[in-house]
């Protein structure tokens, strides 16, 4: 399979055609080998218009959703970004090409280790990953110019708001375990938070102290 052709088709038909116009995001998604972030048996589906399982009841997000969430951060290139839910590492890789540094938290150690290995193979050296409860953020590295959450939360964790810099943007799915609304929250100069609803979406649950409790997740 010619993965470069598949990537071009993915960007043209799934992302650009649906209204993503951030040229930097489009170029990065055209360059990053998404197929490396899924199991060998699923690599032929890596550029399809769907999320895919990565083990541990987790998924790699649909390409369009990765692009939409990344574009919603409105990145300029010099930011320090917090990512919640390293997962496969694909979203992490996309962010790493667009910002100064990515701090990524994953609660499942086996996924964090696998992602770190792939990211190292791609020589992406501006990424810090730790295994921890992502719902409480990464306080000793705050504030962040952007926070991207790749899991659905029942509400907006207050720790994220506290760790967001002035002018910074938090992008996360908010809702129940079956359906969420992708939401963008911007911290304004007066200390207030502007909240925007972007689109409907469906993510795995955000589990932790300020998210869903593990025993309540179906």
**Which residues form the catalytic set?**
61
What lies within 8 Å, CB to CB, of 65 at 6+ separation is 51, 182, 201
DSSP bridge partners of 106: 131
Contact 28, 99 (CB under 8 A): no
Question: Cis before residue 48, ω within 30 degrees of 0?
Answer: no
CA nearest to 33, candidates 63, 13, 69, 78: 63
CA pair distance 92, 90, nearest whole angstrom: 5
């Amino acid at each position: 399979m010619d993965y470069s052709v598949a990537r071009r088709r993915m960007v043209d038909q799934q992302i650009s055609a649906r209204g993503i116009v951030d040229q930097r995001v489009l170029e990065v998604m055209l360059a990053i080998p998404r197929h490396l972030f899924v199991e060998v048996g699923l690599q032929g589906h890596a550029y399809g218009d769907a999320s895919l399982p990565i083990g541990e009841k987790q998924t790699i997000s649909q390409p369009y959703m990765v692009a939409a969430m990344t574009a919603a951060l409105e990145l300029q290139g010099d930011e320090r970004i917090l990512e919640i839910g390293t997962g496969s590492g694909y979203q992490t890789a996309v962010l790493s090409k667009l910002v100064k540094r990515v701090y990524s938290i994953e609660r499942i150690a086996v996924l964090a280790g696998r992602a770190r290995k792939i990211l190292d193979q791609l020589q992406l050296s501006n990424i810090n990953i730790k295994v921890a409860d992502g719902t409480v953020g990464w306080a000793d590295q705050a504030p962040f110019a952007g926070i991207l959450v790749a899991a659905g939360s029942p509400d907006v964790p207050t720790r994220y708001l506290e760790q967001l810099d002035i002018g910074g943007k938090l992008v996360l799915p908010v809702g129940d375990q079956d359906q969420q609304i992708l939401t963008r929250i911007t911290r304004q100069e007066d200390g207030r938070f502007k909240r925007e609803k972007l689109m409907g979406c469906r993510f795995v649950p955000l589990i932790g102290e300020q998210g869903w409790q593990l025993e309540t997740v179906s």
